[in-house]
Amino acid sequence: MAYGGYVGRILRVDLSTGSMSTLDTSDYAPDYIGGMGMSYKILWDEINENTTEWSPENPLIFSAGPCCGTPIPSAGRAEVVGLAPQGYPHPWSAPSGFGGDFGPKMKYAGYDAIIITGKSEKPVYLYVTDQKAELIDAETVWGMNVFPAQDYFAKEHGDDVAAATIGPAGENRCRWAAIVSRTENGAGQGGFGALMGDKKIKGVVVKPGTVKVPVANPEEMMRVVNMLNQEMSPTGQARVALSTDSGSYTKRRQSCAWGGCTGGVASCLPSYYSKVPQVSGSGNISGVAYCASGCPGAIMRKSSFEEQFEIKKLEEQLGLNHWESQLGMDFFIRNCFEAGKLTKMMGETIPTDENGNMALEPEFVIRWYKAIANREGEGDAWAEGATRAANILGLEDQVWKTHKHGYGPHWDGRYLHLIHSPVWIVSALAWATKSRDPFNHQHGYPERYPSFVKEWANTPESTSMWGTPTIPYTEICELGAQIYGAEHANSGWDNPSLAYTDKEYVGLWHEYRSIIKDSVPMCDRQFPLLYDTISTPAKVGVIDAETQAFNAVVGTDWTLDEMHQHCEKVANICRAIQVRQGRTRKDHDESVIPYFSQDDAWPDELPPSSMEPPKFLALMDRFYTLRGWDVTTGWPKRAKLEEIGLKNIADELDSIGKLP
C-alpha cells in the first residue's frame, strides 16, 4: 500500500567523507508515525552504548511528520533529535521542536528527514533542493551571528529558502546553544546548536522544489481541516486585531511563542514585534517577544523592557537558548546569590537594588552573553550549562534546587508555573522519567486541563484563558475518568488523599500524546482537545483529532488506541536508548525527588504543597508496572519489548547486560 504524507526519501550525509545517500522512508513509515517517532528509530540504529554527544556517529536528525506540508492546521513543525549536549549527567537522547517553514520546505525539497553524521574538517553548510543536496564551503559565513547568516543564505539561494542556523554559541559548542530558523523559531532545549558546531556545519538550507506531499484522502483531510479550524482556539473567532500599534512598537498577534505554526490570533499569547527601537545598540530590531516576560530574567531588575527585549534579541543573534538563560540560569544564579555563594561574576561584584536584590546592569549581561557564546574567561564555565557550571564553580549545593537532568524549570510546580495540586504530581512523573524538560510537547495536562476548571479560573467571568465556559471541578473529574479510564485521574485537589491515585494512567496517556504531537506533527499548545465546553453539559472533546488528521493524510484507519500502541513502541525505543546510555531508576529517575520535595509556600493551595516521597515512589512503581518496565531498574522487560515488536532491541540490551 502506498501511504500519503511521506515524500519517500531520507537524506543521509556523512560530513567526514562528504558522501551522501538516501534511505527509503517506507522502511520506517507508518509504523513509527514520522517526525520524532521515526527519528528515534533512526537514532537507535545509528549509535551504540559507547556513543557520546561528541562522537562522529552521533547523528543530528531533522525530521518532519506526514501532515507537515499539508493544510492541516499547526502541522508546520520540524523536530531535531540526537544525543543532546545539554543533558546531565549523560547527554541523554532528546528531541527539540521548532515551527515555521523549515519542515514543509524540507519536504517540498524531497525529503522526510535529513540525517547528518561525521565531522567536517572545515566549516560547511548543507544546501538541499529538488531531491539534490550539496555541501558548500562556509568559511565566509562562519563566525556570523544568526540573522546575518540567514540573510547570507537567502542572498545566495533566494528569498524562498528556509535555514536552520547556528551562531557563535553553537560554533563554540556552548551546551545550551540553539538552532534558529528565521527570527521567531528555534530548537532551543537540548543544545543541538552545539552539536552542529561540533560537526562544523553552520546551517541546513532547504529550498522548495517540485515535490508535492501526497494526501491519501483529500476530502477527509478538508473535513478535518474545517473541524480543527472550529475546535482550535482561537481560530475562527478572533477577538483582537491582527496588528496593533503600541507607542514606538508595531506588533502582530501570533498564536504561540514558536512562530506561525497555527495561524491563529489570541490576546493572551505572544506578539511578533516587527519594529523594536534600539536602546543600547546591542540587539536586532525584529523578532518574537516570547511568553516569558521580562526577557533576560529578573536578575536584570534595573533594566527597562526595551533594554530587556533588545538583549533577548542579542541572545538569538548569538544562538543562545533563551529558555535556559531566563528560566534556568536566572533562578540558579539568584539562588546562589541569596545563599551568599555567589558574590562576583566575571570578576565583578554583583550589584543590588535598594531592596538588596541582585540587579545586573544591561551592559554586564551583554558582556556575559558574549563571553558565554565565545567561551571567553569565566564564560567558558557558564557555556557548559548550569549543572556543569555548578560543578566547575563550586555551586553544586544550589543547582539541584532548579535543575533536573540538566534542564531548568518548566511546568513543574516549583519555580515556574505554580500549578494546582495534584496537577504538578503528573508533571513530576514526566520529569522523572523523561530525558529532558518534557514540556516542549506535554502541556496538555498541566496547562490546558487547569484552564478548564471553573474554580481555578482567574477571570471575573470564570471563563478560560480563551474566553470560553469553564467546567466545575466535580464534573471535570467525571470527564477525566472517561478520558483516562481511571476513576481518580483528575482527583485530589479537594481531597489530598487522592492526590497520587491513578496518576500513572494520566502520565502515560499524555506521554503518548506528546509522541503523537511531535510525530504527526501537531501543535502542543492546542492539542489534545480535552474538553468540549460549548456543549451543555460539557463533555469530552475531540481527543482523537490528531489521529483523524493522520488517517486522512496517510490513508490509515487507526483508532486512537492503535495510535497509542505505535506511540508505545516509540516510547520504549527512547527508553532503550537511555538504558543503553546508562539510565537507571535510582540514579537518574529518582534524582528529581529532592527538587519536588522543596517546601514551597504556595498561595491558595491545599496541602500537600511539596512531594511526599513514599507516595511518589509508590506511584513510580505503578507507572513502571503499567509500562511493562522492571520496578527496580526502570528498564523495559523482554516480554514488553517482544510484545510490541522490538525483539531485536531486547536482544541487544540483553547482550550488554541491560535487560532485567
Question: Which residue ranges make up each domain of the chain?
Answer: 9-207, 227-399, 423-655
Burial class (CB in 10 A: 0-12, 13-18, 19+), 400: middle
285, 347 Cβ separation under 8 angstroms = no
pLDDT at 600: 61
Owner of C-alpha cell 497520587: 500
Residue 40: its pLDDT value, please?
98
Model pLDDT, residue 640? 98
What is the rounded average pLDDT of the residues 434-458?
Answer: 88
Q: Where are the beta strands (DSSP E) in 185-279?
A: 185-187, 201-207, 243-246, 249-253, 271-275
Predicted local distance difference test score (pLDDT) of residue 299: 62
pTM above 0.85, yes or no: yes
Block residue for cell numbers 456543549: 535
CB atoms near residue 418 (< 10 Å): 17
Cα angle, residue 444 at apex, residues 443 and 450 outer, rounded to 5°: 95
Average pLDDT in the 350-376 region?
A: 91
**Higher pLDDT among residues 457 and 57, named by residue:** 57
Least confident of 3-12, 61-70, 358-367: 358-367
Q: What is the pLDDT of residues 313-325, one digit of tens each?
A: 788 899 999 889 8
Backbone angles phi, psi at 375, to 5 degrees: 50, 50
Torsion of CA 429, 435, 437, 441, to 10 degrees: -80
- Tell which residue, 405, 461, 400, has the closest CA to residue 597: 400
What 3-state DSSP class applies to 187? strand
Close Cβ partners of 475 (under 8 Å, ≥ 6 residues apart) = 537, 538
pLDDT at 465: 67
Mean pLDDT calculated for residue range 64-83: 92
Per-chain mean pLDDT for the chain: 87
- Beta-carbon contacts of residue 613 (< 8 Å; ≥ 6 apart): 593, 597
CB 27 within 8 A of CB 559: no
For residues 290-296, average pLDDT: 38
Query: For the stretch 578-605, what's the b/e string if a residue is b when 16 or more beta carbons lie within 10 angstroms of its beta carbon?
Result: bbbbebebeebbbbbbebbbeeeebeeb
Closest CA to 61 of 204, 257, 206, 207: 204
Q: Which amino acid, one-letter code, is at 183? A: T
Nearest to 194 by CA among 172, 215, 210, 211: 172
More confident position, 583 or 262: 583
pLDDT of residue 354: 86
Q: How far is CA 515 from CA 36, 45, 259, 273, 489, in A?
A: 7, 19, 21, 32, 20
Q: What dotted CATH number matches 227-399?
A: 1.10.569
Q: Is the pLDDT of residue 27 over 70?
A: yes
Distance between CA atoms of residues 240 and 271, nearest Å: 12
- Per-residue confidence (pLDDT) for residue 462, from 0 to 100: 79
pLDDT value at position 297? 54
- CA 266 to each of CA 234, 237, 253, 532: distance values in angstroms, whole numbers, following the listed order: 6, 10, 7, 19
| 274 — pLDDT class (breaks 50, 70, 90) | very low
Q: How confident is the model at residue 2 (pLDDT cuts 50, 70, 90)?
A: confident
Residue that is written with C-alpha cell 475531540 in the block: 542
Main-chain phi, psi angles of 177, to 5 degrees: -80, 140
The reported pLDDT for the residue numbered 298 is 53
CATH architecture label of 423-655? Orthogonal Bundle (1.10)
Cell of 162: 528556509
Cell numbers 498561595 label which residue?
A: 603
* Per-residue pLDDT at 314: 86
C-alpha 633 chain-centroid distance: 27
Grid coordinates in use for 620? Answer: 513510580
Q: Measured between alpha carbons, how far is 330 from 386 in angstroms, rounded to an integer?
A: 10
Question: What mean pLDDT is predicted for residues 133-145?
Answer: 98
Q: Give the pLDDT mean for 365-388.
A: 96
Report the b/e string of 245-279 with b at 16+ CB within 10 A. Answer: eeeebbbebbbbbbbbbbebbbeebbbbbeebeeb
Q: For 348-433, where are the alpha helices, taking DSSP H only?
A: 362-373, 379-382, 386-393, 396-399, 423-433
pLDDT of residue 257: 35
Q: Work out the average pLDDT over 22-29.
A: 96
Q: What's the average model confidence in pLDDT over 275-282?
A: 39
Separation between Cα atoms, residue 22 and residue 408, nearest integer Å: 38
Give the integer Cα–Cα distance in Å for 602 and 71: 43
Measured CA to CA, the distance from residue 616 to residue 612 in angstroms comes to 6
Mean local confidence (pLDDT), 500-523: 96
Instruction: Report the distance separating Cα 126 and Cα 142, nearest Å.
Output: 13
Query: Residue type at 236?
Result: G
Residues making up the chain, counted from first to last: 660
Tens of pLDDT along 235-271? Answer: 333 333 444 454 444 444 343 433 344 333 333 334 4
Contact in structure between 98 and 80 (CB atoms under 8 Å): yes
Architecture of domain 9-207: 4-Layer Sandwich (3.60)
Q: Taking the CB of residue 312, how many other CB atoms lie within 10 A of it?
A: 26
Q: Is the pLDDT of residue 272 over 60?
A: no
| pLDDT band, residue 536 (cuts 50/70/90) | confident
Q: Are 452 and 530 in contact (CB under 8 A)?
A: yes
